Amino acid sequence: MAAPKKTMRALQYDKYGGGAEGLKHVEVPIPSPKKGEVLLKVEAASINPIDWKIQKGMLRPFLPRKFPFIPVGDMSGEVVELGGGVTNFKPGDKVVSISFPTGGGLAEYAVAPASLTVARPAEVSAAEGASLPTAASTALQQLKAMGVSSFDGSGSVAASTDNGPKNVLVTAASGGVGHYAVQLAKLAGLHVTATCGARNLGFVTGLGADEALDYKTPEGARLQSPSGKRYDAVAHCATGTPWSVFAPVLADTATVVDVTPGVAAAARSLLQKVTFARQRLVPLVLVPKKEEMEWLVELTRQGKLRTVVDSRYPLSRAQEAWAKSMEGHATGKIVVEMGGEE
């Protein structure tokens, strides 16, 4: 019988900066799951902008916790070993996990916390599962932060959002987070205006957006709804939009949930809070939750939530996936598949 494998292929970087070329192919020991962790044979991992923002040093000195660092937290795989105290999984289980900020996903094996690991049914592919944890959870938490509480697909605004928004804007609706936000907003029965580049206008209406705006046109830059609607809420997934652009297109009472807030946005948010402003900017930082991941996987299984994969790469070409994410022009999600065609 062949001896069990002790090392694995992985990509890691050993200093801040360097982009895709800073990622090096290495052969390193397979990690051991500690208490509360599972060891996965990784099948797919998806890259999020936070992964290369950490490499750029944008969360310096907190992340990464140490060098060298194997990046990427969103993954699907098969459980091969359980750490102490883990009783709800067994070897052979197919799962979806997020190991943020520990990372480790750009490898053949990775450890993940059992508390943020959920079962992946056969109907949900490894690529779909790996795409969900950060992007879809962020979209879901954006909608919840607007006051949306029901996603029953009835299309009935009144039923789901008596106190919540009716008209919403999703910016960067063609991206990883935005393409889920459009679909979740439609499941909540909202009227959705979406911004994206010209090439993706049909893509976002295909996801269910009621109207779409090219962000490079003057109307798009002003976020002006083609039908003249004012927004009760905005799922803001693009970067660098000043408050002066939002204010004229918002309803009298409105919430902009911003997942890319800069210093000016944070200051604006604080000022609005202390002055009890009715138009509010709310910064949001994802806090992953197991029950939300389970719900998103189930929605995918039922065919109600679609993951659009922009591009797939084998581990041997993961630098290309990294570069593609850094370019900022993905339509949907960028996935690295460990068993993929080399």
Q: Given the rule CB under 6 A, which residues bind ligand NAP?
A: 48-50, 134-135, 138, 171-172, 174-178, 195-197, 200, 215, 237-239, 259-260, 284-286, 325, 328-331
Q: Which of 121, 100, 115, 114 is nearest to 45 (CA)?
A: 100
Enter the tokens of residue 304.
């109600």
The secondary structure element, H or E, covering residue 251 is strand 250-258
Residue closer to ligand NAP (CB basis): 30 or 209: 209
| Residue number, nearest CB to ligand NAP | 197
98 near 134, Cβ under 8 Å?
yes
Min. distance of Cβ 203 from ligand NAP in angstroms?
9
Residue closer to ligand NAP (CB basis): 30 or 146: 146
Q: How many C-beta neighbours within 10 Å does residue 264 have?
A: 12
95 near 40, Cβ under 8 Å?
yes
Min. distance of Cβ 15 from ligand NAP in angstroms?
21
Long-range contacts of 244-247 (CB under 8 A, 24+ apart): 245/221, 246/279, 246/281, 247/279
Min. distance of Cβ 89 from ligand NAP in angstroms?
26
In eight-state DSSP terms, residue 163 is: S
Min. distance of Cβ 74 from ligand NAP in angstroms?
10
Min. distance of Cβ 112 from ligand NAP in angstroms?
18
Residue closer to ligand NAP (CB basis): 247 or 266: 266
- The rounded distance, in Å, linking the Cα atoms of 199 and 249 is 24
3-state secondary structure at position 114 = helix
Residue closer to ligand NAP (CB basis): 60 or 278: 60
Residue closer to ligand NAP (CB basis): 125 or 171: 171
